[in-house]
Structure 1
Amino acid sequence: MNELQTQLTGSDMLMGLFLPIGIVLMFCSRVRFRNEIDAALRMFCTVAIGLLCFWAIGFGLAFGNSLFGFSGTTLFGFSIRPGEVSPQKFLHYAILSVIPSLFVVGAMMERGRLSGSMLLAAAVSVFVVPLVFHWTWAETPTGTGWLAVTGFQDPGGSLVVFGTAGWCALAVSVVLGPRLGRFNAGLSPIRGRAPTITMLGMWLFILGKLALDTTFGAVPGDDMEWQIIVALLAASAGVSIVMIGTFLKNNFLSPGDWSPSALSALIAVSAVGYEVSPILAIIIGAVAGVLRAVTRNILEHYEIDDIGNMISMALIPGTWGVLIVPFLVVQEPGNFNLFNLLGGQVLGLSVVGIWSFSIVFVLAGLLNRTGLLRVNLNEEQNGLDLTHFGSNSEPAFALRQVSRTSGNLHPYDFDLKSELSTLLQTFNGALQEFQLDVHDAGQRTNLGKTGDIGSTAAIQLAVSFDAMRLAAEEVNLLIEQIVRTQENSGNSISEKAGLMSAIRLILEQPVEDVGSLARRIRLEIDSDELESYVRAANAACGRLNGKLNSVLQLIDILQSGAPALQHVDPVALLEKISPKLKIQAEALGTTLNMSVESSPGMIQGHPLYLAKLLNSLVELSLSRSDGVSSVVNLEIRDFGDGVLFEILDTGPVLPARALEALDEPFSRIADDLDIRDLDTIISVALINQLVRLQEGTVQFKSEVGVGTQIVVRLPYFEDQETA
């Protein structure tokens, strides 16, 4: 190899670093703001630890002189002599070796301990991945990997790298369990912080994968340009088939599926070294995209938290790519035996899957038993930035978001943004003032020296400010939604103004509550009173967060298309959410009675929307209750061609404005409303929209001195009705 070729290979190999960088960006962009520092730094540490471990031990186990085809015995880091190992070869496999570790650490995002994730990453880089490399890819003077001897082929690392990564990540996800609220019916989905960075990560992944494969890995040769075209065609087919299927099923496109679908197709076609025709590449990519979507649904069914759909992206598409190798790769004359080749591939799939999953599953289980795997409840709620690095997102970070975007808005929009910025600044100032007053009061009462009382107050204060920070995150998401709404010409000025009034009403009450608490703290108080004020501030933050979530849910429902309706068992769903509803009723001193008059069958609906509907029905009645004397009755019964949900309460009547705002709620909101009527308008509109999306009907009847009756009718599923 001459000097020019060496330089080209070295620069191309550096482009291979785009592959792990892309994976890091795809994982980090799918976490929430309170975990972004932790996500970025733990992924950086994973790469650093992985490279050191692979240099010291992993490379020798993978490519040292073979011991019975099972493990390498030479070329460990400190014993490597200059010129003994090609730098290009080491860099190529070092980059590939950190990918499974990144998947393991990524699968632990937002709930895994930093120490446990680093221990697992080191174990995967030292032990799990190198032995898989040796079994499948090693060709040494003393022997060849035992799986390679059986005829197993995976030139692009479809299974060896990405299948291993998927199995390892699946194992740790099963042991760790999902994030809080990930699969709770009726709650808003967990939102990633930066979908655009996910797309950037996808492109870097593609560039890095092609750079590695076309310079040193699966397909070095003179047809590099054609191989790149084949790879891009496969990736395009993978994302296109999923986009079309999603749109036909849900009547909207899900951007969270685009990147994983494209990359799953690229992973699958790399198993055959891109040595296929464009038509076959498109077929391989399309099948891989469908398999990834099916795998995602299976993981969600079993409540396995697949952050960013990365497990489904690597696991089954990698398997699909390896299985088609015997049918597509040209074999040497006289050595073609389809049965033997397919048997070697199946053996490799089984061995790699069992080895990767079982080792990580056992190690994760041991770490879990010692408390090193998952953070506790408070730490997860507070965010891992604070838990691991002592950092925290400011409650006013939404102000920075406003300042970045305000210059691109129309004058009317800018006025709204300026007003919202002022409100948020006032709110943040009230929090800071409250914190200083608590500190001063603690000094006056010697709170920091009173042991348990001081510790409890400090915890309550931390929880209070964390709740407010979470509310600020929701406000930021709402601001982004306002910008999108204003860019839509179909929205009227009255709707924009009403939405702004709603946010103003929601923010003003917590500001007043926290300010009132701060004024009381400045008086002479004892330790018990100070602790109660901290709890009250925490409650104010919690109420704010709940109200903002209600507004966000209503905006999402108003802008969403009709979902694909399914068979839903309303009784089973009610049993699942009833404990939460009963706790809320007890806290308000209200009697909540729930009954099923008959045994209605499966209705035509959507599980998530029906859960939100039942929650909204009961919560509306509870919020309108007038204390201990109030009674709320929820009854489900058969009603001809459908199921009837009837809820009765003895609270105050619904305001007329709420019943007039069923279809355009924000056009009826103004500054003269009180916060209770605002809550009612949002709840009534949400109920109406949820019923409409499930092709049902709803009636509201409210009378002074009697109470409120809400009757919802949802049809049976068509198959059941005809039966």
Structure 2
Amino acid sequence: MSVQKNLLDILWVLVCSGLVLMMQGGFLVLESGLTRAKNSINVAIKNIADFGVATLLFYLFGFGIMFGFSFHGLVGTDLFLPAFPKDNAWPPTFFLFQLMFCGTASTIVSGAVAERLKFPSYLLATALISGIIYPVVGHWVWGGTFIESPRGWLEQLGFHDFAGSTQVHSVGGWVSLALLLVVGPRLGRFKEGEPSKSVTGSNLPLAMLGGIILWFGWMGFNGGSTLAFNGSVPIVILNTIIASGFSMLVALFLTWFVKGYPEAISPLNGSLAGLVAITASADCVEPAQAAIIGMIAGGLTIPAEKLLEKLKIDDAVGAVPVHLVGGLWGTLAVGIFGEIEGLGATNGRWDFILIQLLGSAVVGLFAFGVSYIIFKGINRIYHLRVDETEERMGLNISEHKATTELIDLFLSMDYQHKTGDLTLDVPVEPFTEVGQIAERYNLVLGKVRSTLKENEDSRVEIANAYEKVRNEQERAEKLLLNVLPKAIAEELKEKQGLIANSYPEVSVLFADIVGFTQISSGMKPEAVVRILNEIFSYFDVLAEKYRLEKIKTIGDAYMAVAGLPAPDQYHSLLATHMAWDMKSLLSRLKLGKSGTKLSMRIGINTGPVVAGVIGTKKFIYDIWGDAVNLASRMESHGLPNEIQITESTAKLIQSDFELESRGEIEIKGKGKIKTFLVKQRIREPEDSLPYFQFAT
């Protein structure tokens, strides 16, 4: 039989149930603010759906497992699908309050694994924690709270967790950690050989509002855990607020000291860590002790975050430092600061501390072990995580086909960018900030269209008047630009005499088709020329795309250089990306009916050169210098189907390419030179902005 309560106590617990339910909204707002806008709808849906799953499972069997008649202190055996009497208001009130706690434990996982988990995967995690892990641990800790029954085994030992630092928060933290280890970090968060990259939330003020809502809800979380409106309620709520405030300040100033500026997120997570830590002991400590507990909790969040970062565990909102670390510390703090006489710890404080440690360890082992094994096993047959394309797109669209006005605006602008079609305005959502942006963008589009029309009209008039002159000028210009770079051609027009320039660093590319002389010996001359023309014409397109200057072709050899006549600080990356595309093209090419495959040696070197125009008749634009000779040697001493580069080039392209050291090779006149082979392109040109603004 359950205990009887007066109506004031019942009213208090019902009010606190509503406050705890508000925490669900606090988590939703906090997580949405700390994640990117493209995933905000997914975060919101998860925070609503997980409470629905928790309600279903807790009513079906979770409440019975947690509070039913105890089987050796391990698990409840009745109260499944509970039917509550109409003449006693306390049982449904107690169920409602405990359901809110179950939902809170479930939603902790949402923020930790945000921006990468499939929606069904998250529902699975919610079902696991709310249907199995939370009720079982709850029976160990609080099993004898509702009916006359043997208490849970941890409860019998004297383990004390007033409102759930272990039962709610560390359980959520352990399950979050297990799932994080299985699904891995978000794309781009940790790259090999690079410092970790932080992901800035879409709306930090909104996240701060979520933190304040959680503060408010926590007064019901801890205050309602008295299960009665009695004299201990005010001190419980006071301890809760004091611990949170002191924790927030310690986290703020500690981060300020370490980083040199007051970071936006640190006071938010610091305050939450203090709330989590005081939850276990709010009923048995004094306000001064609550302040100490909160200060230590705030100080632990920073090293906990650093440890996760070092281990490359990507917790999107800091759930593990706040809920797991804060929960562990709060449970231990009961033994250190709690009033042991009132808690019935007859064997002394040290024995009580050991009981608290034992409880934390066993709960952690159970919650983490069960969840990790289940998640790992399921992930082998059903990938819990979305694929890379979906993650880049954002879970709002990929998981829910839900969009926002900002995304709609971006899609419209992206369409115009790709197609060049500016005939239609972008859609305007009235009375919103995005709508105001769209309106002004449309005004700009209107002006652009008007200007384009005026220009087109003027162009047609000029073209009609000077068509013959223009055609002759274009013909002459094309002939000149086919011989010389545009800048050199302009310089040649303006002045007479020698044109020569020195460039301190460029990247020179030599390429040669392996064995082409032998392959072409049995072919007609026209066929040889046609094949070379087709291949080199494609290379010319690549040279224009990657802003390389084609110098010349000699037989089946091709020479180009990046970084002149206009200097370009990304010349090595441009040259290597072009070389990679050249190699890819040739690997797919077969000669006629014979099906003969062609292969190519490519060499690249980076260094200084001199460039200029030679002669007065049939002149050419050429380059000279030791860097040119060494690039030629990289090709001639290279391997078929490989790109061989010098050390000077290798140092400049490691961000985009995986390299393999070939060791040292003997170069005539240079001795032994350390060389590398380009083995893999790890970063596509389209992902390498700003320096790949391709020529059109």
TM over 0.5: yes
Offset of 1:621 from its aligned partner?
4.2
Offset of 1:228 from its aligned partner?
2.5
Of 369, 378, 400, the residue aligned with 1:367 is: 378
Q: Which residue of 2 aligns with 1:117?
A: 122
Q: Which residue of 2 aligns with 1:350?
A: 361
Structure 1 residues 651 and 133 mapped into 2: Cα distance closer, same or farther (>3 Å)? farther
Pairwise mapping of residues 417-566 of structure 1 onto structure 2 (< 5 A)? 429=416
Q: Which residue of 2 aligns with 1:66?
A: 70
Structure 1 residues 621 and 233 mapped into 2: Cα distance closer, same or farther (>3 Å)? farther
Q: Which residue of 1 aligns with 2:102?
A: 97
Structure 1 residues 342 and 255 mapped into 2: Cα distance closer, same or farther (>3 Å)? same
**SS of the counterpart of 1:324?**
helix
Offset of 1:176 from its aligned partner?
0.5
Q: Is the 8 A contact 1:234 1:286 kept in 2?
A: yes
Of 219, 227, 231, the residue aligned with 2:240 is: 231
Offset of 1:4 from its aligned partner?
5.2
Of 138, 142, 158, the residue aligned with 1:137 is: 142
Q: Which residue of 2 aligns with 1:306?
A: 315
Post-superposition Cα deviations, 1:588-637, rounded to whole Å, max 9, x if no partner, equal 5989xxxxxxxxxxxxxxxxxxxxxxxxx9964447879979xxxxxxxx
Question: Which structure: greater helix fraction?
Answer: 1
Measured in 1, the distance between the counterparts of 2:358 and 2:229 equals 27
Structure 1 residues 590 and 222 mapped into 2: Cα distance closer, same or farther (>3 Å)? farther
TM-score when normalising by structure 2: 0.59
Structure 1 window deviating more from structure 2 (7-16 vs 346-355): it is: 7-16
**SS of the counterpart of 2:178?**
helix
Structure 1 residues 68 and 21 mapped into 2: Cα distance closer, same or farther (>3 Å)? same
Q: Which residue of 2 aligns with 1:41?
A: 45
Measured in 2, the distance between the counterparts of 1:172 and 1:433 equals 45
Q: Which residue of 1 aligns with 2:499?
A: none
Measured in 1, the distance between the counterparts of 2:63 and 2:78 equals 9
Is 1:319 aligned to 2:324, yes or no? Answer: no
Structure 1 residues 255 and 651 mapped into 2: Cα distance closer, same or farther (>3 Å)? farther
Offset of 1:307 from its aligned partner?
1.1
Measured in 2, the distance between the counterparts of 1:131 and 1:147 equals 12
Is 1:52 aligned to 2:56, yes or no? Answer: yes
Structure 1 window deviating more from structure 2 (161-170 vs 38-47): it is: 38-47
Measured in 2, the distance between the counterparts of 1:64 and 1:618 equals 74
Q: Is the 8 A contact 2:142 2:152 kept in 1?
A: yes
TM-score when normalising by structure 1: 0.56
Measured in 1, the distance between the counterparts of 2:610 and 2:321 equals 49
Q: Is the 8 A contact 1:173 1:305 kept in 2?
A: yes
Post-superposition Cα deviations, 1:53-77, rounded to whole Å, max 9, x if no partner, equal 1111100000000011110011111
Q: Which residue of 1 aligns with 2:213?
A: 204
Measured in 1, the distance between the counterparts of 2:281 and 2:578 equals 70
Offset of 1:9 from its aligned partner?
3.8
**SS of the counterpart of 2:317?**
helix
Q: Is the 8 A contact 2:10 2:228 kept in 1?
A: no
**SS of the counterpart of 1:335?**
coil
Q: Which residue of 1 aligns with 2:390?
A: 379
Q: Which residue of 1 aligns with 2:350?
A: 339
Structure 1 window deviating more from structure 2 (122-131 vs 179-188): it is: 179-188
Question: Which structure: greater strand fraction?
Answer: 2
Q: Which amino acid aligns with 2:148?
A: P
Structure 1 residues 49 and 620 mapped into 2: Cα distance closer, same or farther (>3 Å)? same
Offset of 1:240 from its aligned partner?
0.9
Structure 1 residues 6 and 154 mapped into 2: Cα distance closer, same or farther (>3 Å)? closer
Please provide the CA RMSD for this pair: 4.1
* Number of equivalences: 454
Structure 1 residues 257 and 590 mapped into 2: Cα distance closer, same or farther (>3 Å)? farther
Of 195, 209, 222, the residue aligned with 2:204 is: 195
Q: Which residue of 2 aligns with 1:564?
A: none
Of 274, 282, 290, the residue aligned with 1:265 is: 274
Of 18, 22, 34, the residue aligned with 2:22 is: 18
Q: Which residue of 2 aligns with 1:149?
A: 156
Offset of 1:372 from its aligned partner?
3.7
Offset of 1:206 from its aligned partner?
1.5
Post-superposition Cα deviations, 1:537-589, rounded to whole Å, max 9, x if no partner, equal xxxxxxxxxxxxxxxxxxxxxxxxxxxxxxxxxxxxxxxxxxxxxxx99x959
Q: Is the 8 A contact 1:16 1:208 kept in 2?
A: yes
Post-superposition Cα deviations, 1:680-713, rounded to whole Å, max 9, x if no partner, equal xxxxxxx9xxxxxxxxxxxxxxxxxxxxxxxxxx
Structure 1 residues 426 and 127 mapped into 2: Cα distance closer, same or farther (>3 Å)? closer
Q: Is the 8 A contact 1:231 1:274 kept in 2?
A: no
Offset of 1:432 from its aligned partner?
8.1
Offset of 1:223 from its aligned partner?
4.0
Q: Which residue of 1 aligns with 2:457?
A: none
**SS of the counterpart of 1:271?**
coil
Q: Which residue of 1 aligns with 2:183?
A: 176
Offset of 1:330 from its aligned partner?
2.1
Q: Is the 8 A contact 1:260 1:309 kept in 2?
A: yes
Q: Which residue of 1 aligns with 2:521?
A: none
Offset of 1:435 from its aligned partner?
12
Structure 1 residues 625 and 210 mapped into 2: Cα distance closer, same or farther (>3 Å)? same
Q: Which residue of 2 aligns with 1:248?
A: 257
Offset of 1:80 from its aligned partner?
5.2
Of 126, 131, 134, the residue aligned with 2:131 is: 126
**SS of the counterpart of 2:318?**
helix
Offset of 1:186 from its aligned partner?
6.5
Measured in 2, the distance between the counterparts of 1:64 and 1:176 equals 35
Structure 1 residues 649 and 135 mapped into 2: Cα distance closer, same or farther (>3 Å)? farther
Measured in 2, the distance between the counterparts of 1:204 and 1:320 equals 23
Structure 1 residues 130 and 426 mapped into 2: Cα distance closer, same or farther (>3 Å)? closer
Q: Which amino acid aligns with 2:51?
A: V
Structure 1 residues 220 and 320 mapped into 2: Cα distance closer, same or farther (>3 Å)? farther
Q: State percent identity of aligned pairs.
A: 25
Of 72, 77, 80, the residue aligned with 2:81 is: 77
Structure 1 residues 234 and 142 mapped into 2: Cα distance closer, same or farther (>3 Å)? closer
Measured in 2, the distance between the counterparts of 1:285 and 1:618 equals 55
Offset of 1:308 from its aligned partner?
1.1
Structure 1 residues 147 and 435 mapped into 2: Cα distance closer, same or farther (>3 Å)? farther
Post-superposition Cα deviations, 1:438-472, rounded to whole Å, max 9, x if no partner, equal xxxxxxxxxxxxxxxxxxxxxxxxxxxxxx9xxxx
Q: Which residue of 1 aligns with 2:34?
A: 30
Structure 1 window deviating more from structure 2 (389-398 vs 293-302): it is: 389-398
Structure 1 residues 212 and 142 mapped into 2: Cα distance closer, same or farther (>3 Å)? same
Offset of 1:136 from its aligned partner?
0.7
Q: Is the 8 A contact 2:13 2:227 kept in 1?
A: no
Q: Is the 8 A contact 1:105 1:118 kept in 2?
A: no
Measured in 1, the distance between the counterparts of 2:420 and 2:382 equals 37
